[in-house]
Amino acid sequence: MNRKAQAIVLFLVGGAVLRAGSTDLYLRYVKAGLRPLLLAAGVVLMAAAVATVWYERRTRPAGEATGEGGHGEGEDSHGEVQDSHGEVQDSHGEGEGGHAHREPRVSWLLVLPLFALILVAPPALGSYTAMHTGTALQRPWGFPTLPAGDPLPLNVADYAGRAVYDHGRSLEHRRVKITGFVALDGHGAPYLVRMALNCCAADAQPVKIGLTGRIPAVLEPDTWLQVIGTYTRERTKDPVGGGAIPYLEVSRSRPVPAPRDPYDESWNG
């Protein structure tokens, strides 16, 4: 792959990064706060590609001029050169500098991930990852007073943290409304899950709430569900890692569209 081809690939990568950063596609990869850095990275990559092509075009005439001209001294019209002992050597022989080595064509396979980035939008991590990864629930720094509201909107991590580490004191006698996607364990028990994000999708981990009460008879994994219910003291241990999973007594539920940002960033500020 020559310098121009490398510049083309670099330009396309920068364009793909800009495309992802200018739409909601980037939320499948990184947290929302990293959008400015992502856009800046795309601009830098494209600028580097343009600079590479400009430098290549600027330096090529000088290189070509060096290689042009007639035969040098000591070389006849057949490309033969006499050495210091008067022996004739063929300047077109198979010396180390006699021919250029071409780059292996397999290097063009590096373009395939680029086309995948441009053409394929990967889905957000879902129920399969959630049920094969232990809950990432952590003890909150504190438990701020909850605002008024009935039902009270809460995210999965906030409810789970209060239910486990505050023993539900701030949740008693309150109806809460929580949204997440459905995950089923090996026995078909339903959980409401959100994937918590630190930086990017590679470090996403699930926070889970068990569902009990009036839940739909049929639940499909990865379906987004909004539930209204009340705190219950029931809890279980995550089979992966043994972390605590609280339950919610569901009184009403309905399917909802997937949110614009499928990951939950609230747990780490």
pLDDT > 90: what percent of the chain? Answer: 36
Confidence at 109, pLDDT banded by 50, 70, 90: confident
Query: Which of 114 and 203 is assigned the larger pLDDT?
Result: 203
pLDDT at 121 over 60: yes
Helix, strand, coil percentages (3-state) for the chain, rounded to 5, are: 35, 25, 40
What confidence score (pLDDT) does residue 268 get? 55
Summarize pLDDT for 172-231 with one digit per residue, the tens.
999 999 999 999 998 899 999 999 888 777 788 999 999 999 998 889 999 999 999 999
- Residue ranges and CATH numbers for the domains of the chain are 1-67+104-122 (no CATH), 127-268 (2.40.50)
Mean pLDDT of 142-150: 90
Mean pLDDT of 90-109: 55
| Structure-block tokens of residue 152 | 């009270």
What confidence score (pLDDT) does residue 75 get? 45
Type of residue numbered 187? H
What confidence score (pLDDT) does residue 70 get? 44
Answer whether 0.85 is exceeded by the pTM. no
Confidence at 25, pLDDT banded by 50, 70, 90: confident
Q: Which run of H or E residues covers position 7?
A: helix 3-21
On average, the pLDDT of the chain sits at: 80
Mean pLDDT of 129-140: 90
Collect all residues with Cβ–Cβ distance below 8 Å to 164 and sequence separation of at least 6: 137, 235, 244, 246
Query: Which of 119 and 228 is assigned the larger pLDDT?
Result: 228
Type of residue numbered 83? D
Query: Which of 212 and 49 is assigned the larger pLDDT?
Result: 212
CB atoms within 10 A of CB 162: 21
pLDDT at 21 over 70: yes
pLDDT at 1 over 70: no
Range with the lowest mean pLDDT among 20-34, 83-97, 175-189?
83-97
Collect all residues with Cβ–Cβ distance below 8 Å to 103 and sequence separation of at least 6: 1, 2
